[in-house]
Every structure is written in C-alpha cells, then in structure tokens.
Amino acid sequence: MNGRLDGKVALITGAGSGIGRETTLLFCEEGAEVVAVDIDHEAVKATVRTAEAAGGRAVAHRADVSSAADCERMVARAEEEFGRLDVMFNNAGIMHSEDDDAESTTEATWNLTMDINAKGVFLGCKYGIPALRRAGGGSVINTASFVALMGAATAQVAYTASKGAVLALTRELAVVHARERIRFNALCPGPLRTELLMKFLDTEEKKERRLVHIPTGRFGEAAEMAQAALYLASDDSSYVTGTEFVVDGGITAAYVTPT
C-alpha cells in the first residue's frame, strides 16, 4: 500500500520527544525520508532507531534552532542525504519554568524563549524556503499553540507571545510564497499529555483545573498532533495555506469569541 508521503523528504525539528518524535515515526511509516533534528542528540538518535526498526528511513541530526549556522546545516543535510526537501516542520520549542507574568519574567527567560520558539521558526523558514523552491514547492508546518489565540490561563507571557509571533510569521509567508507552490500553516495544539506540559501540571489538582476547560475532558496526545501534521504535509492539503490549524479538543470553540 502506498504511503501518503511516498517520495517526499521531510525535516522535523524537536524530533527527540513529544510531537516531533511521533511525527517522525508517522512520516516514516507513510513513506517519507526524514531528517530528525534535536538539540539532544541522544534523544533524536533513539527516535531514528525506532523509526528504522519499523522499516523507515531517517537520519538523526543535532542542531540548535536558535543558531543560523545550525539551521543552514540541517537543511543542507536533508539535500545531501536525500537529494531534496519537500516538508519542513518547525516544531522545536520550549516552555521555560520561570516564564510568568510581565513583571516577574526575566529578560533572560524572554530572550531564550523567543530565540527558540520564534527565531527558530524564522531561521527554519529562512533556510528551508530555498530548498523547497529547488524541489518545486512543498509544505512548511510551524508549531504554534492554542494560547496564541486565546491567552493562557496560567501566566506564561514569553511562551504565549512567541507563539503569537509564529502565527503572524506563518500568515505572511503563506501570502508571499503562495505562487511558488510553497504552503505555510501553523499547527495550534491544545493542552497535551506531553513532558513539556506535564512538568508544569505536576499534581492532580493542577491537571483537573486545566481539564475542566477542555470540552472533550481530556488532554490531547502527541500522536494526534502527528496525524494533523501528516495532513498538512501531504498533498491532501494542497489548497490549504495560511491557516491556524487548531487541534485542541474544543477549548478555543468554548472560549474564543469570533471577531
């Protein structure tokens, strides 16, 4: 049976864990060749071993997405290893433990969060776009968040602002590059059962306080975000660009008032 990504080459950042790991495994299963990128080289090598054990084809690459040189090298690695780049998933991100309200958040925490969550997406696009153009077009998926649409119930001003930047960047690039057949969409996950969030919701009381706001009554799973990314990466979404692709268990439907 043919996979939905047969013949495509994808680069996925933050592939050592969470959404990036699950997406790497799914994309390989669907026929893509994948450059799996993470700053934690041991973690991303483990992801690649799992993908290869299931019959997939992937390579592990260490990069700091806040570094222009690293981002340039990771894109070059995709073309060197597999000859082209068709899908760019700028997924790497952090949620800093000291991120709080505007008065309490330090400049250092703000800068680090912006460097990874916002500048990292910009740099991925900066160096990915020429490669996608050389391939005749492709899909860029940028991980944003539901908090960029509605604000966070728990103060995390740098994280929320960084994800808002991802939405704005995605919309502009979608317009600029539409005629080049390069699509840009922002994946906006709701609260997920991933290490990134669960380390903050570290008691049952905190979990229940968040769950009460989610209409489905549960946290999302990283594997569900991978399925959304698969749609955006595949030709099934060929007329989809510039969107806020929300996968959030209904939380924004419950709380965001349409403008």
Q: How confident is the model at residue 154 (pLDDT cuts 50, 70, 90)?
A: confident
- What does the domain layout of the chain look like in residue ranges? 9-255
If residue 89 lies in a helix (H) or strand (E), which one and from where to where? Answer: strand 87-90
Question: Model confidence at 170, in pLDDT bands (50, 70, 90)?
Answer: very high
Active site residues: 159
Q: What mean pLDDT, rounded, does the chain reach?
A: 94
Ordered alpha helix ranges (H), the chain = 18-29, 41-53, 68-82, 107-114, 120-134, 147-150, 157-176, 195-198, 204-211, 222-233, 251-255
- Please name the CATH architecture into which domain 9-255 falls: 3-Layer(aba) Sandwich (3.40)
1-46 per-position pLDDT tens digit: 689 999 999 999 999 999 999 999 999 999 999 999 999 999 999 9
Whether 85 contacts 78, CB under 8 Å: yes
pTM of the model: 0.95
Give tens-digit pLDDT for 45-73: 999 999 999 999 999 999 999 999 999 99
| pLDDT tens per residue, range 157-166 | 999 999 999 9
The pLDDT confidence band at residue 205, using thresholds 50, 70 and 90, is low
Which pLDDT band holds residue 223 (cuts at 50, 70, 90)? very high
What residues are paired with 62 via a beta bridge? Answer: 38
Q: At residue 47, what is the residue type?
A: T
pLDDT of residue 256: 79
